[in-house]
Structure 1
Amino acid sequence: MKHSGLLRKGRISLKNHFYSITLVAYKRDNKFTSLTVNRLITKEMKYIEIQGAAKTIAFVIMPNHIHWLIQLGDKQTLSEVVKSFKGRCSKSIRDNTNIKQLWQRNYYDHLIRDEEDLINNARYIIANPLRENIVKSVALYPYWDCIYLNERK
């Protein structure tokens, strides 16, 4: 990433706030297409949650990137959570597949401003496979989840 330092400019880490994060595969290769790899990734998301570092609100694992909406806990900064997640995923996937380099450096983040922004980001994340014309219905895409799935308004 030529201007990766710009991604960190203005980044703040606020405990218990919501963030939308985008993590990109190394060289934008389609590394996230197998059930094995994607199960390992979701396992590490769950581990971050068990640690109390962040709670997953929604995610979608696309073939070459991941959108992850979280509520940051009070134990780690946003950068520490992402670093831990990427490191644990890299090790797990290296140990269980032939993938050697998993991630591009850095990540994109967006601090969620309010409840409307939170809901809009969750919808954006879940609809990603539709916008990319991977499936005709999100119900046909296996690599996503959202805590709002079972909520009724």
Structure 2
Amino acid sequence: MEGQGNHRLRRGRYSEPGRLYLLTTATQNRAPLFRNLLFARAVIQQLQISDEKGMCRSLAWVLMPDHLHWLIELGTDSLGSLMCAFKSRSSCALYQAGAERQHIWQRGYHDRALRRDEDVRAAARYIVANPIRAGLVRRAGDYPHWDCVWL
């Protein structure tokens, strides 16, 4: 049964302000919506708004055709509030940009807390290299939908 264990994943989820998290979320049915430049830019703007609102500080992210990897330092909001607000705002922005009015994102998201002593830059490099591993480009600089504070 789909989603049967999802509530168990959320049960132990703890949000700690100032903590580093690697977040991953996918589009509904892994639809490659972000091959469309206008749609990708609408979502990227919502990442920036999350930063501007103080919900998080984005350290690195890559928007793949059907999912997002996002390395953040969490602000005062919870992970759940951050992701709910981001998904809601980005869905509305996508509808305004012409996306079909249907569920944009899969329910839930994956999160991994990073320790301060972990090599955070290595995690950021891993995120930015996703388009290369997926065979979309040969060099990270050739892919248009990513950013990293260290590069």
The two structures have a TM-score, normalised by structure 1, of 0.91
Residue of structure 1 in register with 2:16 after alignment? 14
Aligned partners of 2:138, 2:72: CA distance in 1, in Å? 26
* Cα distance in 2 between the residues matched to 1:115 and 1:36: 38
| Structure-1 residue corresponding to 2:79 | 78
Shift of residue 96 of structure 1?
1.7
Within the alignment, does 1:36 sit opposite 2:5 as a pair?
no
Inter-partner Cα distance in structure 2 for 1:147 and 1:98: 30
SS of residue in 2 equivalent to 1:12:
coil
- C-alpha distance in structure 1 between counterparts of 2:150 and 2:41, whole Å: 21
Q: Is the 8 A contact 1:7 1:107 kept in 2?
A: no
- Report if the CA contact (8 A) 1:24-1:66 is conserved: yes
Q: Over residues 82-120 of structure 1, what are the superposed CA-to-partner deviations in whole Å (9 max), with x where a residue is unaligned?
A: 100000001111122133221000000000112434222
Which range is displaced more, 4-13 or 106-115?
4-13
Task: State the Cα deviation string for residues 36-65 of structure 1 (Å, max 9, x = none).
Answer: 111111111111111111011000000110
3-state secondary structure, aligned to 2:23: strand
Give 1:94's aligned residue: 95
Alignment RMSD (CA, Å): 1.2
**Number of aligned residue pairs:** 148
For residues 69-93 of structure 1, the C-alpha deviation after alignment (integer angstroms, 9 at most, x for no partner) is: 111112x111101100000001111
Q: Which residue of 2 aligns with 1:116?
A: 118
Structure 1 residues 140 and 80, CA gap change in structure 2 (3 angstroms): same
- SS of structure 2 residue aligned to 1:148: coil
**Separation (CA, whole Å) in 1 of partners of 2:63 and 2:42:** 12
Which structure 2 residue ranges, 5 or more long, are not aligned? none
2:135, 2:117 → 1: CA distance?
28
